[in-house]
Amino acid sequence: DAKTTQPTSMDCAEGRAANLPCNHSTISGNEYVYWYRQIHSQGPQYIIHGLKNNETNEMASLIITEDRKSSTLILPHATLRDTAVYYCIVRANFGNEKLTFGTGTRLTIIP
Amino acid sequence: NAGVMQNPRHLVRRRGQEARLRCSPMKGHSHVYWYRQLPEEGLKFMVYLQKENIIDESGMPKERFSAEFPKEGPSILRIQQVVRGDSAAYFCASSPDRNAYEQYFGPGTRLTVT
């Protein structure tokens, strides 16, 4: 799986949009970008994934650059409950490949 | 539909004892993954199982660790002769089939070896 690079930590004011970047410059054509988060020692939670088009669901939006070498996860209106470690993962979507977690970004929402 | 269940949630073992961690996947899910999270570290894949089969155990330590997912009952991660370095949070995840994009994680079992 391609390697990802994320900032170690970020702060965001409550109610503002949180934009979390991820670099994955060695991504292959058949690899998807996944985002998971882990809220204080709980089990990780799936957020969103995409291949090359931008994606949106009830939790977040995922913006993938045209060359697919980087992406941004957007939480449109961050709340205190969004404080968590966010993991950007690149994964082939055939079979049922394991998830390779990096160190992630620790996002703190400031009241 | 109940989520992934793990028990016990907390487990304390003395060095040299055995630890058994259980994972009941979501209803209808036949694929189970185990991950380990050492203190202040990210999650690391250990093993991927389908019913009665180990598909990928590339992340399992060579000794003392084993996993099974029988036809009936939960998946079991077994650690024999535990050492202090085994202290960690162990998470299992499940998915319904090989093409599913999402893995659903349980709350984890926190193992402490004294």
State the DSSP string of B32-91.
EEEEEE-TTS-EEEEEEEETTEEEE-TTS-SSSEEEE--SSS-EEEEE-S--GGG-EEEE
pLDDT (0 to 100) of residue A98: 86
**A43, A101, A102: residue with CB nearest B108:** A43
Do the chains contact at A87 and B42, CB–CB below 8 Å?
yes
- The band of B102, judged by pLDDT with boundaries at 50, 70 and 90, is confident
Q: How far apart are CA B35 and CA B106, in angstroms?
A: 11
A41 CB neighbour count, 10 Å cutoff = 11
The predicted pLDDT at position A73 comes to 98
Q: How far, in Å, CA of A55 to CA of A60, rounded?
A: 8
Distance separating alpha carbons of residues A47 and A99, to the nearest angstrom: 14
pLDDT of residue A101 exceeding 70, the answer is yes
Could you give the CA distance from residue B63 to residue B80 in angstroms, rounded to a whole number?
9
What pLDDT, on the 0 to 100 scale, is given for residue B60?
96
pLDDT tens column, B42-82: 899 999 999 999 999 999 999 999 999 999 999 999 999 99
**According to the model, what pLDDT value does residue A30 have?**
86
Nearest one of B51, B36, B48, B45 to B91, comparing CA atoms: B36
**Lowest-pLDDT range of B5-14, B20-29, B52-61, B97-106:** B97-106
Q: How does DSSP classify residue A5?
A: B
- pLDDT at residue A27 is higher than 60: yes
Does A95 score more than 80 pLDDT? no
The Cα–Cα gap between A95 and A24 comes to: 21
A53 — pLDDT class (breaks 50, 70, 90): confident
Stretch A45-74: mean pLDDT: 95
pLDDT at A36 over 70: yes
Q: What pLDDT score was predicted for residue A2? A: 62
What residue in B sits closest to A95 (Cα-Cα)? B98
**pLDDT at position A1:** 58
At residue B40, the pLDDT reads: 80
- List the beta bridge partners of residue B53: B50
- % of chain A residues with pLDDT over 70: 95
Give contacts of B97 with chain A, Cβ < 8 Å.
Answer: 96
Mean per-residue pLDDT of chain B: 93
* A102 Cβ under 8 Å from any chain B Cβ: yes
Residue pair B65/B77 in contact (Cβ under 8 Å)? The answer is: yes
Chain B CB contacts of A34 below 8 Å:
101
Q: Which of residues 1-40 of A touch B (CB under 8 A)?
A: 32, 34, 38
Once rounded to an integer, what is the mean pLDDT over residues B10-37?
A: 96
Q: What is the average per-residue pLDDT within B83-106? A: 90
